[in-house]
Amino acid sequence: MKGVVAEAINSPYANYVIQKIITVLSPQEVPFVVEEIQAVGPQLACHEYFCRVFCRLLENTAADESTKRLIDSMLTDTEEPLLHTYGHFAVECVLEHGLAYQQSQIVALILRRGIMPVAQRRTGAHVLESALKHCSSEDKQALALKFLETSSDKIVGLTDTTWGCMVLRAMLCLSPWAAQQLCHHLSSPKLLKELETTRHGRRLLEVAGLHSVSGGSSSPNEEENGQRKSVLEEL
């Protein structure tokens, strides 16, 4: 594969071979893999197949010097990958498996770009959720403080989408203080009633420990559905 790594990754089939090589062999055994990717350019993190290879490198060789250089190069231009259809997968992988200073670089970019514009995009919401799960306590606190400075209307607006609710659930799990502050924004009776009408809204209410005035009782249809579910589980 030496000399044709970039060509192989560009193939919908051969890219899996490169991924497997990264998974089972050490960087010392196949140093040419990262070298050839680096030669093509770190912007390939936004490519449909190359982003998968970036993820395998981070999962298996994040501390290797050649991988560090490649990821550092990618992070000098994180604006595009952050919200990109494919690039966000590589950014999320940095947040989960990358080094602490690399994670902090992404958090700093989120804060500069604006935490709410990022949360309002599907791809950005996934990145933000990863940051809230995997970053250092200091980075998480910085994100939470900035998020909770946002107006109540914008926070409530996130409940309209599945990815917005995903960010809110991650924020609720961050700390008791953050959960208390966030529940204050979500506790209006009208909003609680609306949240109960959607699946992602009900999941949010469950994590927050909230329910509407009518939320304590089940309708006949709900009880019937519950009985059907029990029968199916027994089967």
- Domain CATH number, residue 96: 1.25.10.10
Answer whether residue 106 is part of any domain. Answer: yes
Residue that is last in its domain, among 127, 149, 171: 149
pLDDT in the model for residue 55: 96
Same domain, 31 and 60: yes
18-71 confidence digits (pLDDT tens): 999 999 999 999 999 999 999 988 778 999 999 999 999 999 999 999 999 999
Same domain, 155 and 144: no
On whether the CB atoms of residues 42 and 67 are closer than 8 A, the answer is no
Nearest to 66 by CA among 108, 29, 107, 104: 29
Question: Percent of the chain having pLDDT more than 90?
Answer: 77
Same domain, 128 and 158: no
Residue that is last in its domain, among 90, 122, 149: 149
pLDDT in the model for residue 212: 61
Greatest C-alpha distance within the chain: 67
What is the sign of the dihedral through the CA atoms of 63, 67, 70 and 74? Answer: negative
Answer whether residue 230 is part of any domain. Answer: no
Domain span including residue 166: 151-216
Answer whether residue 235 is part of any domain. Answer: no
Answer whether residue 16 is part of any domain. Answer: yes
Confidence band for 234, pLDDT divided at 50, 70 and 90:
very low
Helix residue ranges, H only, the chain:
5-9, 15-24, 32-40, 50-61, 65-75, 79-83, 87-97, 100-113, 115-119, 122-134, 137-148, 152-157, 162-172, 176-186, 189-195, 199-208, 220-234
Same domain, 211 and 123: no
Mean pLDDT score, 114-118: 94
Same domain, 57 and 112: yes
pLDDT in the model for residue 224: 44
Answer whether residue 226 is part of any domain. Answer: no
Same domain, 78 and 184: no
Same domain, 142 and 157: no
What's the first-to-final CA gap in the chain, in angstroms?
A: 51
Same domain, 123 and 38: yes
Question: Is 80 exceeded by the pLDDT of residue 214?
Answer: no
Q: Which residues are CB-neighbours of 194 under 8 A, at least 6 positions away?
A: 159, 201
167-186 confidence digits (pLDDT tens): 999 999 999 999 999 999 99
Confidence band for 158, pLDDT divided at 50, 70 and 90:
very high
Could you tell me which residue, 157 or 229, shows the higher pLDDT? 157
Mean pLDDT score, 138-148: 95
Same domain, 145 and 174: no
d(CA 178, CA 148): 8
* Length of the chain as a residue count: 235
